[in-house]
Structure 1
Amino acid sequence: MQNLAPTAGTWIAKCFTDQMLLLFLVPSLIGILLVVGYVMVLPDKPLETKPPREGFKAVLRTYWVSPRQHPDFAWAWLSRFLLTLANWIFTTFRLIYLQHEMRLTSAEATETLATGVLMYGFCVMGSAQAAGWLSDHFGRRKPFIAVAAVLFGIGMVILSQADTIGVFYCAELVLGLGFGTYLGVDLALVIDVLPDPENPSKDLGIFNIAMSAPQIFAPALGALLISLGGGHNYSILLITASAVCLCGALAILPVRKVR
């Protein structure tokens, strides 16, 4: 669903490119309605005992997991952060990339992006399911993360050489396969290295920061990279994304609890 939503959102936005107010309101309204529906049908299990009252400092302490005491979890967190950052460095700027590098008009770039996101999304979802099943079948996690990093790097190389829309679509397919392979295995790896497997919610929440925080930093970092050398420097953007992806793959090697 995390990958189906952006795909659906892109196609919805495609219908309102000339109506900026609706472009923002329609997806927001859909989100509100779905969340309200989810809350109404969610079988929420009440706590058996009321938790003790704790101050603000106690709340802040829950966001800290000691890397010294739980190194495997720390390395897995860093790997997720870096690979997600690499992914969002590019995906944030796909539209203007098409306009600047492919010389497409706004309408043409929007149409191309919608198709590219659709292809990327289906590749992510399909490869995530396949990689997850194969990982369980062979009882291995790390090799799949390595394959994901290689695929992501290949996708970036293809993208850096793209001079036609067809080559851009090819890069989207390879990038989708790489990121999907990573997502399908990474969460399973993290569950294997949770600091407290009997109480996973808090630690999984901390791990989710490694997915959400890069989405905040990637636009600023990407804009800085593109602006180097006078602007529109997408080569540096793609090279940096590939290097960050490689570092993310290497960060998983020190994890000892899983193979």
Structure 2
Amino acid sequence: MNKVILVLLDGLNYETGRSRMGFMNHLVEMKKAQFYKVISALPSLSRPLYETILTGTNPIDHGITNNGINRRSKEESIFSIAHKAELKTGAAAYHWVSELYNKSPFNYMEDRIQNDDAMNIQNGIFYFDDAYPDSHLFLDGEYIRKTYDPDFLFIHSMNIDLVGHLYSSESKEYKKKALEVDSILSNYVLTWMKQGYQIIVTADHGMNSDFNHGGIEDDERHVPMWTIGEQFVSADCYEISQLLISPTICRILGVAPSKKMIKEKFIGIK
């Protein structure tokens, strides 16, 4: 059985991922990774797109249509499907992910660290400050990986999005933060590769020059995706739908996608 790590770099638009993520694109040059443009669902907002990525359904169907809707997901997610199949799940992520798949509302005093085999996310470390350092976030994810050995691990960083809201996607600060996250990834990805993980690195939405996102422009909706691992192959496609991520991960994990996930198979897997 294959184990999967999904890394979500919140707010990273496609052009910045293509031009500033030197290590990740080095893997592509060395034919150790594949690179795609993902077209996000709409609206290009965080909480709706967490749900889209992790359930393979559109906001009009899953009902999380803005960032202010705080409730548990009503859909089958990668977490719930894996849990029902008796696979182990883990996450180091923003607290909205806990609210969607474990507990809503998030209790800051009690819910930061969760270890409960009955939960969809069985082992989780959740942060609630957008400025929580990505360096610490990836260490949280690595702690979960080494300690609990999940079959599906979700690592979700927030600093690129935060800097984009403060300075815009055209700023030196935004581009510098992308470089920093790329450097952080270089500390982990080769180890994950050597240990046989199947890895997807992508973003939920992008960022525009107006310090924001939520609309339909390319810099808000087009995001990068890198795939790494023996189960991935070079595909003839260049642009893919965000709806393909969830069923692809399910297939790699060896579990059936939900009935609501699109039946189309991503041609970039064996």
Report the TM-score range of the alignment, normalised by the length of the smaller protein: under 0.3
Higher relative contact order (CA 8 A, sep 6+): 2
Q: Under a length normalisation based on structure 1, what TM-score does the superposition of the two structures give? A: 0.26
Structure label with greater radius of gyration = 1
Q: Under a length normalisation based on structure 2, what TM-score does the superposition of the two structures give? A: 0.26
Higher helix proportion: 1
Higher strand proportion: 2
